[in-house]
Amino acid sequence: MSLTLLLVQGLNGLQLGILLFLIAAGLTLVFGVMDFINLAHGVQYMLGAYFAAHFAAATDSFWLALLLALPATLLVGLVLEFLVFRHLYDRDHMAQVLATFGVILILNDGVRWVFGSAPLQVPMPEALTGGFPIMDGLLYPHYRLAIIAGGLATAGLLWWLVERTKVGMLIRAGATNAPMVAALGVDIRRLFMVVFGFGAMLAGFAGVMAAPILSVEPGMGDNLLILAFVVIVIGGIGSVRGAFLAALLVGLVETLGRSLMPDVMRLFLDPSSARQVGAALASMLVYIAMAAILALRPAGLFPVRTA
């Protein structure tokens, strides 16, 4: 394991973390403000990628595709809220889990029906095809750096929205004490719709950005959704700041674990079993980290305090 490889894997981990944050931000606010578990949030990520593929093929431009895919995911999010989720807020968590899981199945099959089950490719935007030389002969793709930069900029924008604007103040207050905010005269359902639509669009944005480096296929959001739940639990439910740090942590642990664990195991085991045990341990590492953090801080890193 060379330093260069460590650097590359570190950057990859950061990039996974950024994508996770974009998905987790909406999830944590929806869970925090409305106590609503939305398993179908990962579907928004998948739809973002599919919209990107569709619009990129139609317009021949990644940037136009990005511009069109964002309002498209926003629209889908609002329609789902109106048709399905709105009727689930007063139900218990089990009903929410079942119904939103149903939405995952329907939409995963829906995209298969419309776009086919073969993975789609989205060409990288021309301006970002090159690479950044990390060492002789080793280029780190510009596009992956752009994902990190775009994600960080979005995180900054989100911080400003949540911490510095009136609607952000309401969202933070709503995540702490929704009944009180409603009693002050705020239409909490409307606030929730705004949060929901915006969260769906962020997840869609993550999907658009991931589309050129991953294959766009049905169910691509499912794995990330589980990681996103790990992120919001570690970060503290309802906390955007917590989600940001936890997402970077999970992204790094997940990526570095996969590349480092087999090497670490080789210190104790013969090469072939080291590879197996290392791989098995690597996939558990995120959950071990979650268990450790929750043992120390049961409400997550940045719990939203209630009165």
**Binding of another protein by 187 (CB under 8 A):** yes
**Binding of another protein by 306 (CB under 8 A):** yes
Nearer to another protein among residue 71 and residue 102 (C-beta): 71
C-alpha 101/C-alpha 95 separation (Å) is 10
User: What are the beta bridge partners of residue 135?
Assistant: 138
Residue 182: how many other CB atoms lie within 10 Å: 14
**Binding of another protein by 226 (CB under 8 A):** no
Whether the CB-CB separation of 234 and 293 falls below 8 Å is answered with: yes
CB of 202 to another protein, least distance (A): 15
Among 47-55, 81-89, 128-136, 184-192, the segment contacting another protein (CB under 8 A): 184-192
Among 58-66, 177-185, 199-207, 212-220, the segment contacting another protein (CB under 8 A): 177-185
**131: phi then psi, degrees, rounded to nearest 5:** -140, 165
Question: Look-up: residue for tokens 């964002």?
Answer: 70
Nearer to another protein among residue 70 and residue 230 (C-beta): 70
User: How many residues line the site for another protein (CB under 8 A)?
Assistant: 29
Reference 212, options 143, 114, 153, 154; nearest CA is 143
**Binding of another protein by 182 (CB under 8 A):** yes
Reference 232, options 14, 21, 16, 5; nearest CA is 21
Show contacts with another protein in window 192-221 (CB under 8 A): 194
C-alpha 50/C-alpha 302 separation (Å) is 34
Nearer to another protein among residue 93 and residue 189 (C-beta): 189
CA dihedral 98, 104, 106, 111 (to 10 degrees): 180
CB of 169 to another protein, least distance (A): 5
C-alpha 297/C-alpha 301 separation (Å) is 6
> Among residues 2, 136, 179, 268, which is the contact residue for another protein, using CB under 8 A?
179
Whether the CB-CB separation of 301 and 236 falls below 8 Å is answered with: yes
**Binding of another protein by 291 (CB under 8 A):** no
Stretch 246-285: interaction string toward another protein, x if CB under 8 A: ----------------------------------------
DSSP 86: G
CB of 172 to another protein, least distance (A): 7
Question: Which residues of this chain interact with another protein, rule CB under 8 A?
Answer: 161, 164-170, 172-173, 176-177, 179-188, 190-191, 194, 304-307
